Amino acid sequence: MTGQYLSNPQIILASSSPRRKNLLNQINLKFTTKPSRFDEPEPDYSSEKPEDYAEGLAYQKALMVSRGKKSTLVIGSDTIVVINDEILNKPQSEEDAVAMLKKLSGKTHRVITAVALILTDSLGEIGSETRFHEVTEVTFSRMTDRDIRDYTATGSPLDKAGAYGIQDDWGSIFVEKINGDYYNVVGFPLNRFYRELMNFSPGYLPRP
């Protein structure tokens, strides 16, 4: 690292997700948003674990937004749903969403949210970085075909990993129980983020 950190550097969330924005606002983090244009690759099941895939996506999003930014903390994040070792990202169509929800019906799946933090110095170079992920198990009750299609027809599943939302969304009726961090399923693991930020750069910690 050749540059020095400035006081009161800015924070950027490299995401367009309204859910992540709301969660970070909830803990009084002061930040701006700049969605990454990173083109997400398909997972390589032969050599990559789902956790590593999610962390890689989060990091690439943060890296792209961090370029040219000086004295900035960039937060990248990505959420995936994993069922029987198959990764479910956002559905590409209504029929794709229907197929995903049928796979989840009556079963337990994992929700993995990865976070990458990149801190740049006063010259715009990467000073430090870290990445981590949180896993929550979610169990669905069995869903009728009508419930699945009615929900899919609302369009809400199309911008959500695994084709459902657990908060402020009709998809919450499918969730029978969860094991782990609820906010991780919403889209950002607040508890883990706070603890990681405390070790990574405590000067950025939000306060009540």
> Residue 125: which CATH number?
3.90.950.10
**What pLDDT, on the 0 to 100 scale, is given for residue 13?**
97
**What pLDDT, on the 0 to 100 scale, is given for residue 7?**
47
**What pLDDT, on the 0 to 100 scale, is given for residue 5?**
43
Residue 63 — pLDDT band, cuts 50, 70, 90?
Answer: very high
Whole-prediction pTM:
0.91
Domain-located, residue 102:
yes
**What pLDDT, on the 0 to 100 scale, is given for residue 41?**
76
Domain-located, residue 5:
no
| Residue 3, pLDDT above cutoff 50 | no
**What pLDDT, on the 0 to 100 scale, is given for residue 47?**
75
**What pLDDT, on the 0 to 100 scale, is given for residue 89?**
87
Rounded-to-integer distance, Cα 9 and Cα 25, Å: 18
Mean pLDDT, rounded, of the chain? 91
Residue 178 — pLDDT band, cuts 50, 70, 90?
Answer: very high
**What pLDDT, on the 0 to 100 scale, is given for residue 2?**
38
Domain-located, residue 3:
no
Q: Which of 155, 147, 144, 23 is nearest to 79 (CA)?
A: 23
- Alpha carbon dihedral 37, 97, 114, 1, in 10-degree steps, equals -10
Of the listed ranges 6-20, 109-123, 148-162, 181-195, the least confidently predicted one is 6-20
Residue 105 — pLDDT band, cuts 50, 70, 90?
Answer: very high
Domain-located, residue 119:
yes
Rounded-to-integer distance, Cα 113 and Cα 132, Å: 9
- Looking at the structure of the chain, the number of domains it has is 1
Based on C-alpha coordinates, what's the Rg of the chain?
Answer: 18
**What pLDDT, on the 0 to 100 scale, is given for residue 8?**
53
Per the structure block, which two tokens stand in for 198?
């405390």
Domain-located, residue 147:
yes
For range 132-139, the mean pLDDT: 98
Residues forming the active site: 78
| Residue 55, pLDDT above cutoff 70 | yes
Domain-located, residue 4:
no
Instruction: Tell me how far the alpha carbon of residue 40 is from its chain's centroid.
Output: 13
**What pLDDT, on the 0 to 100 scale, is given for residue 207?**
87
* Domain membership of residue 66 as a residue range: 10-204
Rounded-to-integer distance, Cα 51 and Cα 61, Å: 16
112-134 confidence digits (pLDDT tens):
999 999 999 989 899 999 999 99
Alpha helices in the chain (DSSP H): 18-26, 50-66, 94-104, 145-153, 182-186, 190-200
Rounded-to-integer distance, Cα 170 and Cα 168, Å: 7
